[in-house]
Amino acid sequence: MTEKKNQYLRDWETTELQKSLDRFPERKEKFYCHGGRPVERIALPETIDTQYTENQGVPGRFPYTRGVQPTMYRGRFWTMRQYAGFSTAAESNKRYRYLLDKGQTGLSVAFDLPTQIGYDSDDPISLGEVGKVGVAIDTLADMEVLFDKIPLDKISTSMTINSPAMVLLAMYIVVAEKQGVSADKIRGTIQNDILKEYVARGTYIFPPKPSLRLITNIFQWCSGNAPLFNTISISGYHIREAGSTASQEVAFTLANGITYVQTALDAGLELDVFARRLAFFFNASSNLLEEVAKFRAARRLWARIMKDRFKSQNPASMMLRFHTQTAGSSLTAQQVDNNIVRVTIQALAAVLGGTQSLHTNSRDEALSLPTEDSVQTALRTQQIIAHESGVPDSVDPLGGSYYIEQLTDKIEEEAVSLIEQIDKSGGVVAAIETGFIQGQIEDAAYQYQTEIERKERIIVGVNKFQVDEETKVPVLRVDPAIEDEQVQGLTRLKAERDQERLQNALEQLEIAARSESNLMDPVIAAVREYGSLGEICGVLRRVFGEYQARW
């Protein structure tokens, strides 16, 4: 090993690494051996030059290509956070406690479609959808049941909710208070990413401008009241599920991130206060090495954007911390056991790429919501990678591979080119209104599907290696009777609550919405009076209107 390399490694160990270990004693490194041979904490090239330092460097140091923490998984594994929610709050609570008992280390809440678009279960538009693709949450009472006997001072919770994110976050905060946990102690993430809804997913309510106001209101309120809570999870996952390429996923996700940062700055928020709580959410698809490179490229590009474009001074603001979910769109109804293999490859890509938390899909999700047995297998997949594969023992073990480094550079270059095109068009909102982003994703999706139909891209069990008779697989069915049960419970609650106090809270919310006030406190006040999601969103619909897509 050259003396220059030795000095570089010593300098890193005595600065970033030691600071991390001092700040987080639970990350104190273990000693790892493979076959009696010590595992290197990090592999470095013999020659350390300026270009290497600028492009790759070491974990925990700008540009964070090799990871955001100096020790990565040697000190602490990623959070194993299985996404779950179905039927009623009581049924979902049982599933959460089951997962926690099986070794899950964080919760991730799936909400049903009416909840995602701000309607109560008793609204005619909700008919047939209550509790089907997630849990139905109408009021604070449902949220209380959802987290019953789950200590919110010990468990971090991710909530996949966007347009009505403020309302669900308010419910979570009040439930925590009822447990004796103040807002400054809660940990978790709220997705709160509306821009990707306009281009890839569709569960929007309000137009972009008031939607961005709600997001910055959450940034502002949480920075002063819930500083440990991640106020947004800027999501590339749904962009990739809609058919984008890896480079497009990076580009459009980070372009959305740029928009959120600029909107917050325009609202007067301080960059290095709110930017530390930004988080990201990516897809892990089956092309293992491309996915690893994608994660490394995204991390490096975001660090440069924050430093060069926004002039951040705080290293924590430059770190791209992200959750990963394996690719739901890759799962097949044919030969469902093949999905276990797909998910394993995808989960391995996320770990090799340096994710901070991970959800592994279940084998039967192309057929139905997953059964408990399938969920256990999905969780065990993560645990086997963590404890048996040896992959977490070294930081960025694929770093330095000629192919990985070349692919990382290529994805970053392609993403930069797309972001520049968006900037020239007037930014993300303008690019959404002209259909540029949607068109890029649609073209990529069409190309992918064409390759499958021509058998230029093989999907095992679908267009090759088929079987004549499929094995019967047990599936989970949501009882249609739960919709009646949910509606009846909501009807009882609405009859029993203090209508006068609620009406006053809703009137105050409307006054605030018509001004430039922060809406977080008025929403919390309405939630405390057991105002429903539909009632609160109804007030905001009257003030803000509803978005009508042109594309």
Distance CA 10, CA 12 (A): 5
Instruction: Look at residue 23 in the predicted model and tell me its pLDDT.
Output: 59
Q: What is the pLDDT of residues 260-305, one digit of tens each?
A: 999 999 999 999 999 999 999 999 999 999 999 999 999 999 999 9
Count CB-CB contacts under 10 A for residue 77.
Answer: 18
Distance CA 322, CA 326 (A): 13
Order of strands, edge to edge, in the sheet holding 79-80?
A: 79-80, 357-359, 322-326, 278-284, 232-235
Instruction: Look at residue 394 in the predicted model and tell me its pLDDT.
Output: 92
Instruction: Look at residue 15 in the predicted model and tell me its pLDDT.
Output: 64
Secondary structure class of 80 (helix, strand, coil):
strand
Instruction: Look at residue 24 in the predicted model and tell me its pLDDT.
Output: 56
Question: What is the mean predicted confidence (pLDDT) over 210-216?
Answer: 97
Sign of CA dihedral 382, 384, 389, 390: positive
Q: What is the pLDDT of residues 89-113, one digit of tens each?
A: 999 999 999 989 999 888 999 999 9
- The confidence band for 470, taking pLDDT boundaries of 50, 70 and 90, is confident
16 pLDDT more than 90: no
Question: What is the mean predicted confidence (pLDDT) over 201-213?
Answer: 96
- The confidence band for 20, taking pLDDT boundaries of 50, 70 and 90, is low
Instruction: Look at residue 52 in the predicted model and tell me its pLDDT.
Output: 85
- The confidence band for 259, taking pLDDT boundaries of 50, 70 and 90, is very high
Helix axis angle for 338-352 and 372-388, nearest 10°, is 40
Question: What is the mean predicted confidence (pLDDT) over 189-216?
Answer: 96
C-alpha 96: how far from chain center: 18
Instruction: Look at residue 551 in the predicted model and tell me its pLDDT.
Output: 66
Instruction: Look at residue 2 in the predicted model and tell me its pLDDT.
Output: 64
CB of 298 closer than 8 Å to CB of 253: yes
Q: What is the pLDDT of residues 181-192, one digit of tens each?
A: 999 999 999 999
395 pLDDT more than 90: yes
Question: What is the mean predicted confidence (pLDDT) over 519-530?
Answer: 98
Instruction: Look at residue 13 in the predicted model and tell me its pLDDT.
Output: 62
Quickly list DSSP for 463-518: TBS--SSPPP---B---THHHHHHHHHHHHHHHHS-HHHHHHHHHHHHHHHTTT--
- The confidence band for 473, taking pLDDT boundaries of 50, 70 and 90, is confident
- The confidence band for 471, taking pLDDT boundaries of 50, 70 and 90, is confident
403 pLDDT more than 60: yes
Question: What is the mean predicted confidence (pLDDT) over 500-514?
Answer: 98
CATH fold for domain 75-426? TIM Barrel (3.20.20)
Instruction: Look at residue 27 in the predicted model and tell me its pLDDT.
Output: 53
- The confidence band for 36, taking pLDDT boundaries of 50, 70 and 90, is confident
Count CB-CB contacts under 10 A for residue 384.
Answer: 12
Q: To the nearest whole percent, how much of the chain has pLDDT over 70?
A: 94
Plot region of 518 (φ>0 → left; ψ -120 to 50 → alpha; else → beta): beta
**Residue 96 tokens, joined:** 């959460």
410 pLDDT more than 60: yes
Which candidate, 420, 351, 409, 344, places its Cα nearest to that of 377? Answer: 344
C-alpha pair distances (Å), 510 with each of 64, 427, 528: 44, 30, 16
- The confidence band for 4, taking pLDDT boundaries of 50, 70 and 90, is low
Instruction: Look at residue 12 in the predicted model and tell me its pLDDT.
Output: 65
pTM, full prediction: 0.93
Give the E-state strand segments of 182-293 in sequence order.
188-190, 229-230, 232-235, 278-284
Q: What is the pLDDT of residues 303-319, one digit of tens each?
A: 999 999 999 999 999 99
19 pLDDT more than 90: no
Instruction: Look at residue 29 in the predicted model and tell me its pLDDT.
Output: 62
Q: What is the pLDDT of residues 361-372, one digit of tens each?
A: 999 999 998 999
26 pLDDT more than 60: no
**83 compared with 406, residue with greater pLDDT:** 406
pLDDT, averaged across the chain: 93
Domain ranges of the chain: 3-55, 75-426
Instruction: Look at residue 124 in the predicted model and tell me its pLDDT.
Output: 97
Q: What is the DSSP letter of 393?
A: G
Instruction: Look at residue 85 in the predicted model and tell me its pLDDT.
Output: 87
**54 compared with 237, residue with greater pLDDT:** 237
Instruction: Look at residue 476 in the predicted model and tell me its pLDDT.
Output: 85
- The confidence band for 326, taking pLDDT boundaries of 50, 70 and 90, is very high
43 pLDDT more than 90: no
CB of 234 closer than 8 Å to CB of 280: yes
Q: What is the pLDDT of residues 336-350, one digit of tens each?
A: 999 999 999 999 999
Instruction: Look at residue 14 in the predicted model and tell me its pLDDT.
Output: 64
- The confidence band for 478, taking pLDDT boundaries of 50, 70 and 90, is confident
Which candidate, 199, 215, 234, 122, places its Cα nearest to that of 165? Answer: 215
